[in-house]
Amino acid sequence: MAAPETSTAAVPTLYTNNTLRNAFGGVLSFFILLLIGVMAFSIRLFSVIKYESVIHEFDPYFNYRVTQFLAKNGIYEFWNWFDDRTWYPLGRVIGGTVYPGLTLTAGTIWWLLNSLNIPLSVETVCVFTAPIFSAFASWATFLLTKEVKGTGAGLTAAALLAMVPSYISRSVAGSYDNEAVAIFALIFTFYLYIKTLNTGSLFYATLNSIAYFYMVCSWGGYTFIINLIPMHVLLCIVTGRFSSRLYIAYAPLVVLGTLLAALVPVVGFNAVMTSEHFASFLVFIILHVVAFVYYIKGILSPKMFKVAVTLVVSVGLAVCCAVIAVLIALVASSPTKGWSGRSLSLLDPTYASKYIPIIASVSEHQPPTWPSYFMDINVLAFLVPAGIIACFSPLSDSSSFVVLYIATSVYFSGVMVRLMLVFAPAACITSGIALSQSFDVFTRSIKFQLPGISSSMEVDAVETSSATAEAQNDAVKTEKSEETSKNRPSKKSKKKEKEKEEKPSTKAKAEKRLLALPLDSSVIFLLLLILLGAFYVVHCVWAAAEAYSAPSIVLTSRSHDGLHVFDDFREAYGWLRHNTDVDDKVASWWDYGYQTTAMANRTVIVDNNTWNNTHIATVGTAMSSPEKAAWEIFHSLDVKYVLVVFGGLVGYPSDDINKFLWMVRIGGGVFPHIKEPDYLRDGQYRIDSQATPTMLNCLMYKLSYYRFVETDGKGFDRVRQTEIGKKYFKLTHFEEVFTTHHWMVRIYKLKPPKNRIRGKTKKSKSKTSSASSRGKRSGTGKKNPWQ
């Protein structure tokens, strides 16, 4: 909200003295930016204030664990870290399979603070990394938008980004995930690209490659950059906007960027070998061809040029065909056609659900729903179209980039809910442009029509009129100051462009007056816009405080008798940490792998880094098998404990029973004896008395509902809103060792193989009675606290 005020606040402070005014504006915008940064940081602290300073969710726990390792052992050990506590018994080479950007960033911050004798714990640094970087991200947004449409738009966009819910959802304090720094890196890379494009400076081009390198270090989403920028370059070429600035903006990025990207172990040769990167190389070639053509055109006479063109086109076509053939052959030779599964599911949204259940199963890989757009970007959704229109008047290199950015990111966000995060900055930038332009228009209209000041305002109004012109001015100014002798032709052309721009704008001076809107409607619209902005702020603060600040390891619920806190996860992990052997293996669905290794410090079979589908399928198969078969699978993996998450007692919906069909699908994908229809009754997933016998006898059902009927006597599942199908049963191969307070996590131990093997004759009565009495005895200890 600060940004709109700037343009209104700037109005009364206008002086005829331009430099003083600029200086004042500069100082003001500096302070506004500072405040935006403070706001971006502080709006993300709700989670710390409402809950506590903890790491959130799943992936952040892994990052936290890696950061701890880095802080303790140094970068070389981190680089070569072979982790034997996950993916047992395969292990995982952490150093070569993580994007190290986030870890290195937080590690560096921690090291820096410690060497300054500020003894913060690694956890604190990790918790606050994301809010700090969201402040950086909003400043980067300011820079980018300023390059495109001037300071006013920049400030508005920065303010919008600082509190856009979509970004808040991934960067609240404690949400220590790659995206936290990656969004900053993404915007900053784009800014440097636009900056290079506007200035044609090799210095910025180099910085751009380094920013790109940081992005590659941080997040797999860097492929978005390396595809979007080539697309923009191609767009510029096609629309006849080729210039040496474009060349400087792009060619060093591809060469240096690819070299740097190949240095990141997790990317390595992928930087030149996978299809995600092919577009950049293709455009690189095209760019050179185009540059060459321009060069030839310059030294040949028009007639000769025509001859040369026909010659080159015929030869070029042949070469192109050959190159394309080679490319196709290369692509076809790789099994997935050179595309990774996640990227393929981007291009074909139905790909994942058809072929890769493990990708489709991740909730953040699902397509978003319409309400989630309103939730995540709120009023920006209405401002974006206006912003796009604003970008077209007039269309410059940089504004065409913004248009391209928003168009592609809208598509991607529609495919995968996670990529809403990439869309959010684009939406903020365009909305910022839209807001600031409309404020411009309305305030100008008011200014022209207010009696008294209109005459003196006229000149100033013209000067502030076109934001693009201003941007161009800025660009030229920086060019003057920074560039000395290089790029003379481009500078000249720039000057010419500038003159061209100036001329129509002076002509427009007279027309502007006529274009002004009526005073009353301007005022009303201005008020409405402010109202819209206010609504946005209210929504963002609400989203930050209520919707996105839950750490998901601690849950709360408000009921008529007050606030309930569900701290079952930490209770369970704490139990594991203190009551099991250091080398014991814990099996659970992969969602809880990272947390188990980080919080319980126990070896897990699978975790959230879903690199080995077969291993996950093995666990899925075990969970969907009957007890004995499951025991055999787990025993062959040396598993000692099995952990299941069960929400039926308190109504926690994302429990293992609700995820169970994915286990069946993923397991069945590798082990065909697990068939999904066996678990469904007439295509319906149910756990009540109508459920199939396979379902009622599978391990997941048994481990979830073991002794559940003892809580309320009926076995009523509050998530599925039904009574369970099989209420009284015993476990033969597993024994319950721990159930948390609200039954949300249940831990079972594998029974050892029997010491003796019984004969054939039926079991005696005395034995069974003693066993059942034992069961009852242990059962009385736990009672449902909520019945």
Can residue 115 be called a binding residue for other proteins (CB under 8 A)?
no
Q: What is the largest CA-CA distance in the chain?
A: 110
Q: Residue 33 Cβ, how far from other proteins at the closest point, in Å?
A: 41
In angstroms, the CA 131 to CA 102 distance is 13
Residue in 607, 602, 598 with CA at minimum distance from that of residue 584 = 602
Q: Which of 245, 585, 702, 726 binds other proteins (CB under 8 A)?
A: 585
Read off the DSSP letter of residue 698: B
Mark 655-689 as b/e (b = at least 16 C-beta within 10 Å).
bbbbbbbbbbbbbbbebeebebeebbeeeebbbbe
In the 3-class helix/strand/coil scheme, how is 633-687 assigned residue by residue?
HHHHCCEEEEEEECCCCCCCCCCHHHHHHHHHHHHHHHCCCCCHHHHCECCECCC
Residue in 532, 526, 536, 534 with CA at minimum distance from that of residue 438 = 526
Give the full edge-to-edge strand order of the sheet including 603-604: 603-604, 585-587, 639-645, 745-750, 734-739
Can residue 733 be called a binding residue for other proteins (CB under 8 A)?
no
In angstroms, the CA 39 to CA 26 distance is 20
Radius of gyration of the chain, Cα coordinates, nearest whole angstrom: 31
Q: Using the minimum distance from each CB to other proteins, give the nearer residue, 93 or 331.
A: 93
Can residue 557 be called a binding residue for other proteins (CB under 8 A)?
no
Which structure tokens are listed for 79?
């680089």
Q: Using the minimum distance from each CB to other proteins, give the nearer residue, 393 or 768.
A: 768
Q: Using the minimum distance from each CB to other proteins, give the nearer residue, 661 or 670.
A: 670
Contacts with other proteins, 76-95, as mask; x by CB under 8 A: x--xx-x-x---xxxx-x-x
Tell the residue number behind the tokens 């055109």, with chain if given.
297
Q: Residue 620 Cβ, how far from other proteins at the closest point, in Å?
A: 17
Q: Using the minimum distance from each CB to other proteins, give the nearer residue, 585 or 702.
A: 585
Can residue 672 be called a binding residue for other proteins (CB under 8 A)?
no
Q: Using the minimum distance from each CB to other proteins, give the nearer residue, 93 or 389.
A: 93
Q: Residue 97 Cβ, how far from other proteins at the closest point, in Å?
A: 11
Tell the residue number behind the tokens 């604190």, with chain if given.
124
In angstroms, the CA 169 to CA 171 distance is 6
Q: Residue 736 Cβ, how far from other proteins at the closest point, in Å?
A: 21
Can residue 632 be called a binding residue for other proteins (CB under 8 A)?
yes
Q: Which of 50, 241, 635, 718 binds other proteins (CB under 8 A)?
A: 635
Residues 306-335 that bind other proteins (CB under 8 A): none
Q: Residue 485 Cβ, how far from other proteins at the closest point, in Å?
A: 12
Which structure tokens are listed for 178?
């790659």
Residues 744-783 that bind other proteins (CB under 8 A): 753-761, 764, 766-767, 770
Q: Residue 749 Cβ, how far from other proteins at the closest point, in Å?
A: 13
In angstroms, the CA 709 to CA 714 distance is 5
Stretch that binds other proteins, among 327-335, 416-424, 629-637, 669-677 (CB under 8 A): 629-637
Can residue 640 be called a binding residue for other proteins (CB under 8 A)?
yes
Q: Using the minimum distance from each CB to other proteins, give the nearer residue, 337 or 767.
A: 767
In angstroms, the CA 296 to CA 299 distance is 5
Can residue 584 be called a binding residue for other proteins (CB under 8 A)?
yes
Q: Which of 118, 240, 489, 581 binds other proteins (CB under 8 A)?
A: 581
Residue in 600, 700, 722, 718 with CA at minimum distance from that of residue 656 = 700
Residues 200-259 that bind other proteins (CB under 8 A): none
SS3 737: strand
Q: Residue 550 Cβ, how far from other proteins at the closest point, in Å?
A: 35
Can you give the length of the chain in residues? 787
Stretch that binds other proteins, among 219-227, 358-366, 507-515, 631-639 (CB under 8 A): 631-639
Q: Using the minimum distance from each CB to other proteins, give the nearer residue, 558 or 758.
A: 758
Name the site residues for other proteins (rule: CB under 8 A). Answer: 76, 79-80, 82, 84, 88-91, 93, 95, 581, 583-585, 632, 635-638, 640, 753-761, 764, 766-767, 770
